[in-house]
């Protein structure tokens, strides 16, 4: 494809991009990783600023985007929306249109991180991002929101391909793991969508009652049908591991999270403490690699010996956030 067609594009969810566009990001990310610190990429964003609006805190996201901008010759500016006086439902301030238009005059791109704890209802974060992207005159990238996490999904894919080669036809186990941390759906739902589009069989396993967004499940099934691969849902923890090539264990919040609150969610999760990835369960797989977007809740979601085994991709994928984001910024924001 002509990669110049990606210039100016927003990235809210990988499902919004064509498969060949996603492959262009992955190809460039792999090449940038191989030539890291060379002069070839050092001036792509020279004299340009990427603005980052963090409604929710982060570790890897802020670090990786700041490092990405620096390695491309640009600068990433950290912004706390609570200090920007942006008008909300409960506070006065500058209307969103004016904010987006002015920031577009300063920046080559804008990243927004807005998870479920910063919105009133599921989907509000996604709606906010899409409205901001519509108003802005520069590319807007999701740095994780209440529905999706596109940069994480692409970093996962790059890590799996580095270890397994072509992942088409291989089987991904996306499995719920116990944790009191009450985690977002974003990384999990992004993984379902991007890997189904790229031709992996998808097996989704969780305790009864922990259903994800039905629209995302429907799109995942449609993606698998289009790619000619299988999609299945199971509530049987032990059998879920049988014969899979990738184990992605991650806690996600209960669908009633907004009604029952964080403490209510923690109580429900505690009823399923046995949902944990162990070496014994990993032994049922096809010598599977272990994937997690981090931060990992060791001893709850997964045992230490799984995290620290040679089959673990924890740190490879964490590093790949940097390279994927460099590729996204270069393709969408470079002059």
CA dihedral 266, 178, 300, 186 (to 10 degrees): -90
Asked if 156 and 142 sit in the same domain, the reply is: no
Q: Work out the percent of the chain whose per-residue pLDDT is above 90.
A: 93
Which tokens sit at 154?
Answer: 């692409």
Asked if 260 and 325 sit in the same domain, the reply is: no
CATH number at 203 reads 3.40.50.1370
Asked if 142 and 251 sit in the same domain, the reply is: no
The arrangement of strands across the sheet holding 140-145 comes to 75-79, 49-54, 109-114, 140-145
pTM of the model: 0.97
Question: SS3 for 158?
Answer: helix
Asked if 144 and 23 sit in the same domain, the reply is: yes
Mean of the per-residue pLDDT values of the chain: 96
- Looking at residue 90, its pLDDT comes to 62
> Which sign, positive or negative, has the C-alpha torsion 266, 268, 273, 274?
negative
- Looking at residue 85, its pLDDT comes to 79
- Looking at residue 91, its pLDDT comes to 67
Element spanning 174, H or E: strand 171-176
Mean pLDDT of 124-147: 98
Asked if 180 and 133 sit in the same domain, the reply is: no
Asked if 141 and 196 sit in the same domain, the reply is: no
User: Is 46's pLDDT higher than 80?
Assistant: yes
- Looking at residue 321, its pLDDT comes to 98
Q: Where in the sequence is the domain holding 235, given as residue range(s)?
A: 152-313
Helix axis angle for 96-106 and 124-135, nearest 10°, is 60
Mean pLDDT of 326-332: 98
User: Is 31's pLDDT higher than 70?
Assistant: yes
Mean pLDDT of 125-134: 97
Which tokens sit at 305?
Answer: 């010996």
Q: Are 251 and 177 in contact (CB under 8 A)?
A: yes
Nearest to 232 by CA among 206, 213, 204: 204
| Weakest mean pLDDT among 35-39, 184-188, 271-275 | 35-39
Kindly state the greatest CA–CA separation across the chain: 56
The number of distinct structural domains making up the chain is: 2
- Looking at residue 335, its pLDDT comes to 64
Give residue-wise pLDDT tens across range 249-307.
Answer: 999 999 999 999 999 999 999 999 999 999 999 999 999 999 999 999 999 999 999 99
Give residue-wise pLDDT tens across range 141-162.
Answer: 999 999 999 999 999 999 999 9
Mean pLDDT of 168-190: 97
- Looking at residue 164, its pLDDT comes to 98
Beta-carbon contacts of residue 122 (< 8 Å; ≥ 6 apart): 116, 146, 147, 185, 213, 257, 258
Give residue-wise pLDDT tens across range 70-121.
Answer: 999 999 999 998 888 787 666 678 899 999 999 999 999 999 999 999 999 9
CA-atom Rg of the chain in angstroms? 19
d(CA 146, CA 127): 10
Asked if 43 and 125 sit in the same domain, the reply is: yes
Asked if 261 and 181 sit in the same domain, the reply is: yes
Give residue-wise pLDDT tens across range 212-254.
Answer: 999 999 999 999 999 999 999 999 999 999 999 999 999 999 9
Mean pLDDT of 112-141: 96
Asked if 119 and 48 sit in the same domain, the reply is: yes
- Looking at residue 331, its pLDDT comes to 98
Nearest to 14 by CA among 168, 217, 191: 191
Phi, psi of 147 (to 5 degrees): -110, -40
Give residue-wise pLDDT tens across range 200-209.
Answer: 999 999 999 9
Asked if 216 and 110 sit in the same domain, the reply is: no
- Looking at residue 3, its pLDDT comes to 84
User: Is 2's pLDDT higher than 90?
Assistant: no
Mean pLDDT of 18-22: 98
Asked if 234 and 324 sit in the same domain, the reply is: no
Asked if 160 and 70 sit in the same domain, the reply is: no
């Amino acid at each position: 494809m002509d990669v110049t067609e990606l210039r100016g594009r927003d990235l809210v969810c990988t499902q919004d991009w064509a498969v060949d566009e996603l492959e262009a990001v992955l190809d460039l990310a792999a090449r940038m990783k191989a030539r890291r610190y060379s002069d070839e990429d050092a001036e792509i964003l020279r004299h340009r600023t990427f603005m980052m609006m963090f409604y929710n805190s982060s570790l890897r996201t802020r670090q990786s985007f700041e490092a990405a901008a620096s390695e491309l010759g640009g600068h990433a500016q950290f912004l706390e929306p609570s200090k920007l006086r942006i008008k909300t439902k409960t506070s006065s301030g500058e209307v969103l249109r004016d904010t987006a238009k002015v920031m577009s005059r300063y920046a080559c791109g804008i990243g927004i991180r807005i998870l479920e704890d910063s919105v009133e209802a599921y989907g509000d974060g996604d709606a906010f991002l899409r409205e901001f992207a519509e108003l802005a005159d520069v590319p807007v990238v999701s740095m994780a929101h209440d529905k999706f996490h596109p940069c994480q999904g692409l970093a996962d894919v790059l890590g799996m391909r580095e270890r397994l080669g072509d992942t088409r036809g291989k089987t991904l186990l996306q499995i719920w793991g116990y944790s009191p941390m009450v985690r977002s759906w974003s990384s999990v739902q992004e993984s379902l969508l991007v890997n189904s589009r790229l031709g992996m069989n998808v097996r989704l396993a969780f305790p009864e009652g922990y259903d994800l967004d039905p629209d995302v499940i429907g799109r995942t099934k449609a993606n698998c049908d289009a790619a000619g691969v299988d999609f299945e849902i199971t509530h049987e923890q032990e059998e879920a591991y049988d014969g899979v090539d990738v184990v992605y264990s991650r806690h996600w919040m209960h669908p009633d999270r907004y009604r029952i609150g964080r403490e209510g969610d923690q109580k429900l999760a505690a009823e399923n403490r046995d949902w944990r990835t162990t070496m014994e369960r990993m032994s049922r797989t096809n010598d599977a690699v272990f994937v997690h977007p981090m931060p990992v809740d060791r001893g709850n979601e997964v045992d230490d010996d799984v995290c620290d085994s040679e089959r673990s991709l924890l740190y490879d994928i964490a590093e790949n956030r940097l390279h994927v984001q460099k590729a996204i910024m270069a393709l969408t924001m470079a002059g």
